[in-house]
Amino acid sequence: MVRTDQGDIRCRSVVIATNARSAKILVPSLQVPNSNAVTTWYHLADCAGAELTDGKSTLVIDGKKFNGHIDDPTRPLVNTVVMTNAAPSYATGNRTLISSSALGVHHSSQAENLVRSHLAALYKVSTSNWTHVATYPVPDALPMMAAPHDTEQSVRLSDGVYLAGDYRQVSSINGALASGRRAAEALLVDDL
């Protein structure tokens, strides 16, 4: 029996295909990993994408950040990309859209100023005239994968109840899809 806002639904099987936090709400006894948080900023640049990465859809990382400067607060970004170099339709009128991400949840205008400064260093251009479009903090972006991590946790919770999500396999979109496939395959095997 599955209980919804619209009423109860009788079923032989159910797949709980959610993020870890939602699965824990539905199944309180379920052990789920903590999550990593990510904040993404979007900016419209005042220059062409070709000026930033030679027009290529290149993911830019800060090599210094991963070479002993991991906790440097003046270098918050882990990566940035000129989105419109990969998909011009993401902005109108030949505008240049930049997406940049940092670990953790960041809300303040000070954080946006640090991001803008870091972008200037990474792209070697002034960002003072860039337009801040939006900031999206995602507290549960990806499940933590502390070692040792079981990359193929059972998708069978109990008779007729299956779990799917990146927290059951590998913390990624691919992990979520793969665990969904495994849950569907297990359901089909068990239901036949």
Amino acid at position 52, single letter: L
Residue at token pair 């939006």: 134
Amino acid at position 30, single letter: L
pLDDT of residue 67: 62
Are 97 and 82 in contact by the 8 Å Cβ rule? The answer is: yes
Q: Do 40 and 129 fall within a single domain?
A: yes
For the record, the structure tokens of 70 come out as 């991991």
132-162 pLDDT per residue, tens: 999 999 998 989 888 887 888 889 999 999 9
Within a 13 Å sphere around the CA of 130, how many CA atoms are in the beta-carbon half?
A: 30
Q: Do 10 and 89 fall within a single domain?
A: no
For the record, the structure tokens of 35 come out as 């999550």
Per the model's pLDDT, the better-predicted residue between 70 and 45 turns out to be 45
Q: Which domain holds residue 181?
A: 2-33+147-191
β-strand 2-4 against 7-9: which pairing, if any?
antiparallel
User: Whole-angstrom Cα distance, residue 179 to residue 99?
Assistant: 28
Q: Do 91 and 183 fall within a single domain?
A: no
**What are the two backbone dihedrals, phi and then psi, of residue 88, each rounded to the nearest 5 degrees?**
-55, -25
Are 23 and 79 in contact by the 8 Å Cβ rule? The answer is: no
Q: What is the pTM of this model?
A: 0.80
β-strand 96-103 against 77-82: which pairing, if any?
antiparallel
pLDDT of residue 74: 80
10-55 pLDDT per residue, tens: 999 999 999 999 999 999 999 999 999 999 999 999 999 999 998 8
Q: Do 129 and 68 fall within a single domain?
A: yes
